[in-house]
Amino acid sequence: MNRKLWLLMLVICTVAAQPAMAQSNLGFKRGGIAVSMVSPENIDATFGVGVFADMGTIAPRWGLESRLDWWSHSESFFNVDASVTDVTLGGRTKYQFPTSNPNVQPFMGAGLGIHFLSMEVGAIDPFSGLAFSTSASETRLGLDVGGGVTTAMNPSMNFHAEAWYGLVSDFNQFSLRVGLSRAFGQ
């Protein structure tokens, strides 16, 4: 019985996957750059930069995006300097809402990212003048949820405006991001 159930599930999945694969359009479609204002939890807002690639669609209205983002924040108080850096490598799935204007494409999405966090603290002893520092780094998995709009500027260039909230253990972060992308091969 168990063997027949597995065989039936395999047949159903194979039959269901055929139309989905026929409707997918995967590949490097667009590449772009972005700047963002990032507000990490318990840290002042900071500036971020990133690159991204539109990887096409897995089904009608469902797009894939890969990304690499960076932000850093430093603070000094008394004789202590502290800095935090986050480099994120991730991917997002975006659902593109149907619109009557093909040049304006609103979307919402979610994705996963690997956050490479590093922290460094340095201080100078005011009495002896000795300097000391310590650093730490961690890798954490994060979940992104957000949305935005993509607007065609011309046949090869798009403008992107997005808002994302990243759920990262002890380092949740909100970002407002704008960017430009260019179609590959044009």
- pLDDT at res. 154: 93
Phi, psi of 6 (to 5 degrees): -65, -40
SS3 content of the chain, % helix, strand, coil (to 5): 10, 70, 20
Which residues are CB-contacts of 12 (< 8 A; sequence separation ≥ 6)? none
- pLDDT at res. 165: 97
- pLDDT at res. 100: 94
Phi, psi of 120 (to 5 degrees): -145, 135
Each residue's pLDDT expressed in tens, for the chain with a length of 186 residues: 566 656 666 666 555 555 555 567 888 899 999 999 999 988 899 999 999 999 999 999 999 999 999 999 999 888 889 999 999 999 999 999 999 998 999 999 999 999 999 999 999 888 888 888 899 999 999 999 999 999 999 999 999 999 999 999 888 999 999 999 999 875
Task: Report the predicted TM-score, pTM, of the whole model to 2 decimal places.
Answer: 0.80
Domains with residue ranges and CATH for the chain = 27-183 (2.40.160.20)
Which among 83, 85, 80 has a CA at the least distance from the CA of 70?
85
Distance CA 43, CA 49 (A): 18
Report the SS3 class of residue 184.
coil
Is residue 81 within 8 A of residue 58, CB to CB? The reply is no
**Residue 130, both tokens:** 């000795």
- pLDDT at res. 4: 61
Distance of CA 180 to the CA centre of its chain: 15
**Residue 1, both tokens:** 């019985």
Strands 173-183 and 46-59: unpaired
In Å, how far are 60, 86, 92, 94 from 49, measured between CA atoms?
A: 30, 11, 17, 20
Distance CA 108, CA 148 (A): 6
Neighbours of 7 (CB within 10 A): 10
- pLDDT at res. 160: 97
